[in-house]
Amino acid sequence: MRLRPWRPDDADAVHAACQDAEVQRWTEVPVPYLREHAEQFVGPVATRTWAQGGALFAVEHDGVLVGSMGVHGVRDGVAPVGYWTVAGQRGRGLTGEALRVLTGWALEQPDVHRVELVADPANTASCRVAESAGLRAEGVLRQRYAHRGVPTDVVLYAVLATDPRPPVDAR
């Protein structure tokens, strides 16, 4: 498993992955998800994310796209993260492993002391991923986000630079 920068030739795989109803249900990807959205994501969006102090990675396992991991800017030492996983790659522990790698990398940055993730409480798979990666649930923020225009509760997960980290899977 590795995290790498997005490339223009990833657009087809991103387009296919973002057709999945679960990716569309739990993330902010546009619906319908068009090829031009994928091209923007792997090109200008990824470049802009890095330029604005964040990071956007493709997650690969054995040369196959597993998903996306990102740090969406850093403010006051806090790095918010997010991810999605390709439908056929779920349930293998790869997203949790990738999130461990991402949080470890983020916490090594000199301006980061905390990594945060928010997940819908009904998205039990995402909640399990966060916990497997060593993030701790800190509570439910009621109607904190508007998801597709609807006020939505989220669970706030976080890990601090001073927290013990789970071991990285040696698969």
Does 33 map to a domain? yes
Q: Could you report the per-residue pLDDT of 42-95, keeping only the tens digit for each?
A: 999 999 999 999 999 999 999 999 999 999 989 999 999 999 999 999 999 999
Does 118 map to a domain? yes
pLDDT of residue 64: 95
Residues spanned by the domain of 65: 2-160
Does 165 map to a domain? no
Q: Could you report the per-residue pLDDT of 9-51, keeping only the tens digit for each?
A: 999 999 999 999 999 999 999 999 999 999 999 999 999 999 9
Does 75 map to a domain? yes
Question: Going by C-beta distance under 8 Å and a sequence separation of 6 or more, which residues neighbour residue 76?
Answer: none
pLDDT of residue 119: 97
Does 77 map to a domain? yes
Tokens encoding 126? 């995402």
Does 144 map to a domain? yes
Nearest one of 64, 60, 126 to 98, comparing CA atoms: 60
Query: What's the CATH number where 78 sits?
Result: 3.40.630.30
Domain count of the fold of the chain = 1
pLDDT of residue 170: 45
Q: Could you report the per-residue pLDDT of 125-165, keeping only the tens digit for each?
A: 999 999 999 999 999 999 999 999 999 999 999 999 999 87
Does 132 map to a domain? yes
Q: Is the pLDDT of residue 124 over 80?
A: yes
Does 35 map to a domain? yes
pLDDT of residue 165: 75
